[in-house]
Amino acid sequence: MESCLNVQVSRDMLAPFRQNVLRRGRELYRDLPWRRTTDPYEIWISEVMLQQTQVSRVDGRWQRWLERFPTVDALATAQTADVLDEWQGMGYNRRALSLLKAAKAVSDGGGRMPCEAADLVALPGIGPATAAGIRAFAFDLPSVYLETNVRAVLLHELYPDAAQVPDRELLPIVEATCPQDASDPSDDPRTWYYALLDYGAYLKRVVPNPSRRSRTHVRQTKFEGSHRQKRAMVVRALLAHRGDGGGASLDSLTREVNEEEARAGRPPVQESAVAALLEELAREGFCHRDGESWLV
C-alpha cells in the first residue's frame, strides 16, 4: 500500500464526490432522535455522547439526560454528583464534568449557546469537531466537521490506496465540500454532514474500516484493568455514598473497589493506590476531602 504523501485530490474530483455522497446519504439516512431537533443544547449533548460511543448506546441515554437536565440552565445549576450519576455507563467521566463547566459558562453568559466556532471551542470540553457539529446541525452553518465517519468516506472515495493519511490533507477537502449556505434544504450543511455520517457508518459495516488508514487512527487501549477503569470504579464508589452526609472513608472505598476487582477476577488494589486515585480525582474536580471522608 502506497503512502498518501504525494496523493493530490483535484477540485474536479469534488463535484462527482459530492453528488455520490448526497445520493448515498438519501439512501442510507438514519432517522435518529437528535436529528429531530435544532436546539443547540440538545445537539451539543448528542455530539458529546456520540464521541467514541455507539449510536445504539446513545439512543435512550440522550433522552434520559434531557429529561433530567432539559436546558443548559438546568444543567448549569445541577450538582456534580447528579451529573456524574447520569453519565455513568457512557465512559470518560471527564466529559460529564466538562459539560457541567461549559453549561455554567453559557448560563452565566445569558443562557444562549454560541454559534461561532471560536466561541464554542472556548467552552470547556468543546473541540473543533464538536463545535463544527453544533454549527452544522443546530444552526445549519458551514463548518469543518471531521470525525471518524467523515474520515471513512473521504478515505474510501478519494484515497482508496493510501495509508497514513494526515488530517491536514483531509481538512481542506471537508472545508471545500461543505455547502456555504442553507438555501437548498437538499444540500445544506446539515444535510451534507448527515450524508457523510450515514455513508461512513455504512462503509464501516461492509468494508474494512477506511478510517484505520488515517494517521490519526489509534487503536483503543484495553479498558479492563486499566488506570482509567480504576478511576471509574472509585467514582462509582463515591457516587454510591452521595446520600451519606459524612461521605466515605478511604478504608470503605478501598474495600468497595476491591470487591469489584474480586468479582472481575483481578488482584486487589492497595489502599495507597486508591488514595492516589482520590487525590488525582480531587485535583480534577470530581471529589473533595472533608476530614477523613471523601465526598463527590
> What is the SS3 assignment for 138-197?
HHCCCCCCCCHHHHHHHHHHHCCCEECECHHHHHHHHHHHCCCCCCCCCCCHHHHHHHHH
Provide the pLDDT confidence category of residue 7 given band limits of 50, 70 and 90: very low
Would the pLDDT of 16 be above 60? Answer: yes
Looking at residue 1, its pLDDT comes to 38
Give the per-residue pLDDT at 246.
76
Predicted confidence (pLDDT) at residue 164 exceeds the cutoff of 70: yes
Give the pLDDT mean for 152-159.
Answer: 96
Return the bridge partners of 249, or none: 293
Q: What is the pLDDT of residue 11?
A: 80
- Quote the CA–CA distance of 244 and 1 in Å, as a whole number: 59
Distance CA 136, CA 292 (A): 49
How far CA 231 is from CA of 50, 59, 65, 208, in Å, comes to 21, 26, 22, 33
pLDDT band at 3 (very low <50, low <70, confident <90, very high): very low
CATH code at 227-295: 1.10.10
CA-based torsion, 41, 235, 285, 224: positive or negative: negative
| pLDDT at residue 4 is higher than 50 | no
Give the pLDDT of residue 12. Answer: 84
Residue ranges of alpha helices (H) inside 11-54 are 14-28, 40-49
Tell me the domain boundaries of the chain. Answer: 2-31+142-213, 39-139, 227-295
Of the residues 42, 47, 86, 147, only one is catalytic, namely: 47
Q: Which residues on adjacent β-strands are paired with residue 261?
A: none
Strand-strand pairing, 288-290 and 293-295: antiparallel
The per-residue pLDDT for 52 is 86
β-sheet bridge partners, residue 163: 3
Domains 39-139 and 227-295 equal at CATH topology level: no
| pLDDT above 50: residue 233 | yes
Annotated active-site residue 47? The verdict is yes
pLDDT in the model for residue 156: 97
198 burial (CB, 10 Å; 0-12 / 13-18 / 19+) is buried
What is the mean predicted confidence (pLDDT) over 182-193?
97
The alpha-carbon radius of gyration of the chain (Å, integer) is 22
What residues form DSSP beta bridges with 162?
A: 2
What average pLDDT does this structure show over 145-166?
95
Burial code (b: 16+ CB inside 10 Å, e: under 16) for 178-191 equals bbeebeeeebbbbb
Binned at pLDDT 50, 70 and 90, residue 9 comes out as confident
Which of 2-16, 66-80, 140-154, 253-267 is predicted with the least confidence, judged by mean pLDDT?
A: 2-16
pLDDT at residue 220, rounded to an integer: 63
What pLDDT does 172 receive?
95
pLDDT digits (tens, 9 = 90+) for 244-281: 777 899 999 999 999 999 999 999 999 999 999 999 99
Distances (CA, A) of 205 to 23, 25, 31, 149, 151: 18, 15, 18, 11, 15
**pLDDT digits over 121-148, tens only?**
999 999 999 999 999 999 999 999 999 9
Question: CA 118, 45, 81: angle at the middle one, nearest 5?
Answer: 110
Residue 192 near residue 143, CB atoms below 8 Å = no
Region 196-206 average pLDDT: 98
pLDDT computed for residue 217 by the predictor = 82
Which CATH architecture best describes the domain 39-139? Answer: Orthogonal Bundle (1.10)
Amino acid 245: pLDDT? 73
Q: Sorting pLDDT into bands at 50, 70 and 90, what band is 289?
A: very high
Q: Is the pLDDT of residue 10 over 80?
A: no
Instruction: Please give the order of strands across the beta sheet that includes 293-295.
Output: 248-249, 293-295, 288-290
Q: Which residues contact 213 (CB under 8 A, 6 or more apart)?
A: 1, 155, 159, 162, 163, 164, 165
Q: CA of 2: how far to CAs of 7, 154, 163, 165, in Å?
A: 9, 17, 6, 10
Average pLDDT over residues 165-174: 95
Mean pLDDT of 198-204: 98
pLDDT of 221 over the 70 cut: no
